[in-house]
Chain A
Amino acid sequence: MSDMYNVSSSPHVRSKDTTDRIMLYVIIALLPASLFGIYNFGFHALLLIVITILSCVASEWAFNKITKRKETIKDLSAVVTGLLLALNLPPTLPWWMAIVGGAFAIIIVKCLFGGLGQNFMNPALGGRCFLLISFTGPMTSFANSRYYISQGLDAVSSATPLAALKAGESVNTMDMLIGRIPGTIGETSVIAVLIGAIFLILMGVIDLKIPAAYIVTFAVFVLLFGGHGFDWNYVVAHLCGGGLMLGAFFMATDYVTSPITPLGKIVFGIVLGILTGIFRIFGASAEGVSYAIIFSNLLVPLIERVTVPKPFGKGGER
């Protein structure tokens, strides 16, 4: 044959969506929470964000080099992991701990299991939980936010609203919505997190199945077992407190570590809601989102197995 053209199996066209573009959307969606965190907690927060991202990207690059694998840092997934991990760190954490956390997240949780797409646990949360267990003190002391400092309140450390709730004190839910509270760098402002979440939903990156199932289940759990009856203020404080919003929209929805089946996503959200409720209300610690998510990550293969969708023509068409 004189003329030889490209031959491949159909289809012959592809959409413009790529893995790195999706990762870029997630990074953009995390910017409001990141910027608010920097505004709220100051220069050290910025430093931690930069260091954690660098640690993650460098770890992936080095791992690929040492194990002679194809370079993958261009897919931006290490940047997403670094940014998410940083947003889950207290703003006063010593910088070297951030490096350790980033390296653990990328090398142990992600690369050793085969890299992008193969890890069974959310790398950022794996890194956070590793730090939480290893350096419990620095990981659970939260500096006051700019707002508190300007009020002349204790600038070194104070209780998060969740810890206050647990101790039976009342909290200001408006402050929690805006983010004028102590907490990790990226979790304090519900509004900033939601702006990013809405962007991801509009861009078609995430859908509402997991976050909605998670939040609704958790709210019901708190109403039933929180011991406060139908106290809406208490429920709203729980929803806005800690890492629930950041976790529900940005970490529970992590593609790799959540079910692929539509029904599985809803089951996953319900499991998350129940576990978070148990950990927060009956557990020793005030927070439970991270543990709930990494524990539920382990259940994903089981959830998928029992939620194989019905195909078209066998009940799945509706």
Chain B
Amino acid sequence: MGLGTFKGGIHPYDGKELSKDKPIREVLPKGDLVYPLSQHIGAPATPIVAVGDEVLKGQKIAEAGGFVSAPIYASASGKVKAIEPRRVVVGDMVNSIVIANDGAFRSVEFEETKDISALSKEEIIGKIKEAGIVGMGGAGFPTHVKLSPKEPEKIEYIIANCAECEPYLTSDYRRMLEEPEKLIGGLKVVLQLFDHAKAYLGIEDNKPDCISKLTEMVKDEPRIEVCPLKTKYPQGSERQLIYAISKRAINASMLPADAGCIVDNVDTLVAIYNAVKFGQPLMHRIVTITGQAVKDPANFSVCIGTDFSELVEMAGGFNGQPKKIISGGPMMGFAMFGLNVPTTKTTSALLCLTEDEVAKYEPGPCINCARCVEVCPSRIVPSRLADYSENQQEDLFEKWNGLECIECGSCSFICPAKRHLAHAIKAMKKTVLANKRKK
């Protein structure tokens, strides 16, 4: 079988050599921890602690605000200092619980499950829901919702998203190398929920060590298979990954489950395993601290809620003056104007760049070269869609399938005129979707 892949895509500089050989290091925060109540898709969580309360590590501090929502747990012990709006990664102010860290990390007891196979499906989903697990690849969709499709018997593919196609990120890579048994453990838990499914680990072929290690580990597992994928951005995009592995193609109006697929990221699967096996709620995640502006790039196991500025210190501080600070990767991450922002369940990296390539180039007129069309994984026409966005032509934007955009940014990357294509399309998508809801 050849490598799984898709049509389109780009090959940006991957920058992974900066941090790929740095083993995961557990780091403990010294300062306050901040927990935004919205760090997932869906209703915000509701605080169940009050200012002045003492909390333990692993204690639930906010309850899910509905079915599509997730609870939040303290990742350190201390006193609730405030419940107030705080700045988050995307720049908004979001109501957050602030805990004054007492540095003791006194923890609640977790209940271990001796035999996972004895658990019923409902019990497993209950544990995942209770642990506050959301998609940790970036979207933050509550995992228990994803694992409760309308027709579970139709699910045939459980796909572990091990592509890690974003440049610079190495957290999934380190996880696969260092704790592959937890990843496989998480997959087995999910397989227990879907009787007709097989699990596939989709790994880009720039990680041959992970491919061989995991292939060796699953050689006696009839229901788990490793699928090497061609290294290309955005191979880890849900729709492109599903296509590369199953040859099934979904569009914007479909869910992966409509094609019999469920996709989970590496860190999410490990969190599922920790929740079901050890009873641990989601309190930690792996964050890559990297970029040319960081002295000592690293992969940290971070207490969720830790301030980004602390992580920079732990990575040796800055190496020269950074121009741009990004939460996440360079293709889909969010640029932040300051470092005093908390890490959340969906923070995969902190990328500090000494050069801002966006500011370096002035956008020029489109020369119609069609490079954006060639690279677009959604097979749409970014250049035209950006025009329709700039001219506020909603009907044409929809006719040219603008809503199918997955916002991967490949078009802006490749554009020789340096137009902000993805930005224009994203803005118009928001407008069109908002107007649709109004109707």
Contacts and interface: CB of A to CB of B under 8 A. Distances in A.
A17 interface: yes
B249 A13 contact: no
B334 interface: yes
Interface string A298-318: 000000100011111110111
B252 interface: yes
A94 B47 CA distance: 85
Contacts of A150: none
Contacts of A117: 365-368, 417
Interface residues of B, dominant DSSP: loop
Contacts of B409: 10-11
B357 A317 contact: no
A15 B371 CA distance: 11
Chain B: interface residue count, which band?
35 or more
Given A13-B12, A116-B367, A312-B404, A8 B335 contact: yes
Nearest to A309: B379
A30 to B, nearest CB: 17
Interface in B390-426: 399-401, 404, 407, 409-410, 412-418, 420, 422-423, 426
For this complex, into which size category does the number of interface residues on chain A fall? 35 or more
B388 interface: no
A14 B357 contact: yes
Contact of B426 (A2, A9, A262): A9
Interface in B289-345: 322-326, 330-340
A183 B249 CA distance: 52
A210 B52 CA distance: 71
Contacts of A3: 337-339
B58 interface: no
A312 B325 contact: no
A5 B404 contact: no
B113 interface: no
B404 A311 contact: yes
Nearest to B339: A3
Contacts of A1: 337-338, 340
Given A14-B361, A309-B380, A19 B334 contact: no
Chain B CB count within 10 A is highest, among A4, A11, A262, A312, for A11
B193 interface: no
Interface in B153-187: 167
A5 B379 contact: no
A228 interface: no
A268 B299 CA distance: 52
B378 A311 contact: yes
Contacts of B415: 14-15
Contact of A313 (B249, B334, B339, B370): B249
Contact of A316 (B324, B360, B369, B379): B379
Given A6-B323, A10-B422, A262-B373, A17 B340 contact: no
Nearest to B369: A255
B381 A309 contact: yes
A316 B330 CA distance: 27
Nearest to B309: A3
Interface in B119-171: 167
Nearest to B377: A312
Contact of B384 (A19, A256, A260): A260
B397 to A, nearest CB: 12
Contacts of B333: 10, 12
A14 B332 CA distance: 13
Contacts of A19: 364, 367, 416-417
B434 interface: no
A67 interface: no
25 contacts: A1-B337, A5-B325, A5-B335, A6-B323, A6-B358, A9-B423, A10-B333, A11-B409, A12-B333, A12-B351, A13-B167, A14-B358, A19-B367, A255-B369, A258-B368, A262-B370, A262-B373, A310-B379, A311-B401, A311-B404, A312-B6, A312-B239, A312-B377, A314-B251, A317-B379
Closest 6 CB pairs of A and B: A313-B251, A11-B409, A316-B379, A117-B365, A9-B423, A311-B404
Interface of B: 6-7, 10, 12-13, 91, 167, 239-240, 243, 249-252, 254, 322-326, 330-340, 351, 353, 356-361, 364-371, 373, 377-381, 383-384, 399-401, 404, 407, 409-410, 412-418, 420, 422-423, 426
Interface of A: 1-15, 17-19, 21-22, 75, 77, 115-118, 255-258, 260-262, 265, 304, 308-314, 316-318
